Amino acid sequence: MRSKEELIQELSDMVFEMEDEEIVETAEEYVQAGYDVQDAIMEGLVDGMSRAGVLFAEEEYYVTDVLICSDALNEAMAVFKPLLLERKEEADQRHKIVLGTVEGDTHDIGKNLVKVMLEVGGFEVIDLGRDVPLDDFIDRALEEEAELIGLSALMTTTMTGMKTLIERLEERGIRDRFKVMIGGGAVSQYYCDEIGADGYSEDAIEAVALAKRLVGESEDEGES
Ligand code: B12
């Protein structure tokens, strides 16, 4: 049997090298070996995508290449997702979060990972998709009586939508009704503080801990 590290490295390489068909077999081998699926996602698939991102920035990879990398990531995710959902936490009260990538931004790989992890963590996720008009987040959150709004942005040109959304919540006198959490490659804790969002996390696993904290479920924050 191949080691966990070897398979994780192969998963990363297969995303990076656009092996969107062969990756399924490696993902299945990983699952059959009984290794932790979350590690394969974060240390394998996301790592491969980050490496592709470097070549994209250097213009060695084109949009079409990066799209095949993301296909490879999605193919492996299709193998991992059912296993993740098997360990879905059962909650007495299912907290609702309206999630999406902000207006003008079509990057949704990270947002989709956050969605799966939140579902595994026991949240009900209303996924609005990508390139979502800012008012849609607010209208839907009101309609669904969601407690959280989760915003993703990968570009410096679109992250400003997060600030605008918070301003609109304030203008409508409903800022206190929702906790706004943000993430995505373009943003940071600094930006979160600057725009008055309620929380930022740098990856999909941390996003779950953050969401729990924001709805007052986390142990270390106590009752709130
Ligand atoms: C894949 C990709 C694409 C794919 C998107 C496919 C898809 N369906 O998503 C394609 C090829 C279509 C694409 C298009 C473009 N892209 Co692009 N893309 C990328 C790339 C290489 C990887 C992004 C990614 O998926 N990373 C992997 C995921 C897992 O990471 P993540 O998204 O950051 O998510 C993690 C965390 O951030 C967090 N998270 C994410 N969302 C949220 C939300 C919440 C609430 C929380 C708590 C956490 C959280 O959890 C996730 C998992 O751990 C990045 C490079 C990079 N370094 O980011 C460029 C990048 C984002 N793209 C860029 C650009 C410029 C473009 C284009 C304009 C290119 C063009 N010339 O056409 C278009 C834009 C189209 C548009 N209007 O949106 C730039 C943005 C520059 C900037 N700073 O503004 C980047 C940074 C590349 C670069 N260095 O130049 N892109």
Residues 101-119 have a mean pLDDT of 96
3 state DSSP class of 186: coil
Report pTM.
Answer: 0.95
Ligand 1 centroid to residue 221 C-alpha, Å: 32
CA–CA dist 217, 95 (Å, integer): 10
Give the distance (Å) from ligand 1 centre to CA of residue 118.
Answer: 20
- AA letter at 169: L
Q: Which of 123, 95, 117, 96 is nearest to 183 (CA)?
A: 117
Domains in the chain: ranges and CATH: 4-85 (1.10.1240.10), 96-215 (3.40.50.280)
Handedness of CA 13, 15, 20, 22 (dihedral sign): positive
Q: Determine the distance separating the centroid of ligand 1 and the alpha carbon of 32, expressed in angstroms.
A: 31
Per-residue pLDDT tens digits for 33-67: 999 999 999 999 999 999 999 999 999 999 999 99
Beta 148-152 vs 179-183: how paired, if at all?
parallel
pLDDT in tens, 115-140: 999 999 999 999 999 999 999 999 99
The atom of ligand 1 lying closest to the CA of 106 is 78
pLDDT reading at 220 higher than 60? no
Question: Residue 181 is inside which H or E element, if any?
Answer: strand 179-183
pLDDT of 222 strictly over 70: no
